[in-house]
């Protein structure tokens, strides 16, 4: 098996990929008998490769595969302009920008929250960022098929473009004095999330309109980036436009 292919496994991720027409080929263990999934594969005329349970275990690196996996088409990104156009067609004008996110599980979880709270897309920097891969796809629980992702050369240039389109930039930072829930997000919003380690870079913070914090009452000094994104997106969604 070529390690460079985009492989996803487990019933729900594979079903989502097939329904989104992202699957190229499906791998089934010899005794796979879920007839609904088999019919879905047949209806979409996808080639099937039958393999042994041991081969499936090896292919999925011991992950929970439930007897099936799928090879996916390469993940496609879009332009920032395409995300702006999509946002302009929606009642909610929310875009997520990620700075210094390198964990594919975080990106996958943020994609999931972005889909739930109607964000029009995610903006990633070309450098110092995780790329779209099978781990991101699986963690996103199918959201990767519905939330467009733009990769830009420079986040600050992207911020300039978004501001020209009427967006306000809201970054998260532990040193902020503004509570995230004290703002009424009734304007086009770019939500900027940084990593736990590096946070949002200084220049992006400087170019932000608001820098907010999520109050914390426990013993740890930071939230997981994907959890912070979900909390902030839920708040933004309540009053956006």
Give which of 233, 164, 156, 160 is closest to 200, Cα–Cα: 156
Looking at the structure of the chain, the number of domains it has is 2
Q: Are residues 61 and 92 in the same domain?
A: no
Cβ contacts of 199 within 8 Å, gap of 6 or more: 100, 173, 174
Q: Which of 72, 100, 124 is the last residue of a domain?
A: 72
Domain's final residue, options 72, 97, 127:
72
Quickly count: other Cβ atoms within 10 Å of residue 109's Cβ: 22
pLDDT value of residue 222 = 75
Domain-embedded: residue 28: yes
Q: Domain boundary at 23, 46, 72, which?
A: 72
Per-residue pLDDT of the chain (241 residues; tens, 9 = 90+): 444 578 999 999 999 999 999 999 999 999 999 999 999 999 999 999 999 999 999 999 889 999 999 999 988 999 999 999 999 999 999 999 999 999 999 999 999 999 999 999 999 999 989 999 888 988 998 899 899 999 999 999 999 999 999 999 999 998 899 999 999 999 999 999 998 788 999 999 999 999 999 998 888 777 899 999 999 999 999 999 9
Which pair of tokens denotes residue 221? 């000094």
- 1, part of any domain: no
Q: Give residue 158's pLDDT.
A: 98
Q: What is the pLDDT of residue 65?
A: 96
CA gap 124, 102 in Å, rounded: 10
Whether the CB-CB separation of 27 and 68 falls below 8 Å is answered with yes
* Predicted model pTM: 0.87
Whether residue 141 contacts residue 112, with contact meaning beta carbons closer than 8 Å, is answered with: yes
Residue 218's pLDDT is what?
Answer: 87
10 and 105, same domain (yes or no): no
Q: Measured on CA atoms in the order 171, 174, 177, 180, is the torsion positive or negative?
A: positive
If we measure between CA atoms, which residue out of 15, 148, 165, 175 comes closest to residue 83?
148
Q: What is the pLDDT of residue 79?
A: 98
pLDDT of residue 223: 86
> Which residues constitute the domain of residue 62?
6-72
52 and 100 housed in the same domain: no
| CA distance readout (Å), 11 to 42, 106, 109, 129 | 15, 21, 18, 29
140 with 216, same domain: the answer is yes
């Amino acid at each position: 098996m070529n390690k460079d292919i985009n492989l996803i496994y487990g019933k729900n991720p594979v079903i989502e990929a097939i329904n989104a027409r992202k699957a190229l080929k499906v791998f089934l263990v010899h005794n796979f008998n879920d007839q609904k999934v088999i019919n879905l594969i047949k209806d979409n005329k996808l080639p099937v490769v039958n393999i042994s349970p041991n081969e499936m275990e090896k292919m999925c690196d011991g992950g929970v595969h439930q007897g099936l996996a799928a090879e996916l088409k390469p993940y496609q990104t879009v332009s920032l302009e395409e995300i702006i156009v999509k946002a302009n067609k929606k009642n909610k004008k929310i875009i997520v920008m990620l700075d210094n996110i390198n964990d594919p599980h975080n990106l996958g979880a943020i994609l999931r929250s972005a889909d739930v709270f109607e964000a029009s897309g995610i903006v990633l920097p070309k450098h110092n960022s995780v790329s779209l891969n099978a781990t991101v796809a699986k963690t996103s629980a199918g959201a990767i098929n519905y939330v467009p992702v733009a990769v830009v050369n420079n986040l600050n240039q992207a911020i300039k473009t978004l501001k020209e389109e009427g967006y306000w930039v809201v970054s998260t930072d532990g040193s902020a004095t503004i509570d995230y829930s004290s703002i009424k997000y009734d304007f086009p919003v770019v939500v900027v999330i940084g990593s736990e380690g590096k946070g949002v870079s200084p220049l992006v913070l400087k170019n932000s309109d608001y820098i907010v914090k999520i109050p914390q009452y426990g013993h740890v000094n930071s939230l997981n980036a994907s959890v912070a994104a979900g909390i902030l997106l839920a708040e933004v969604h309540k009053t956006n436009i």
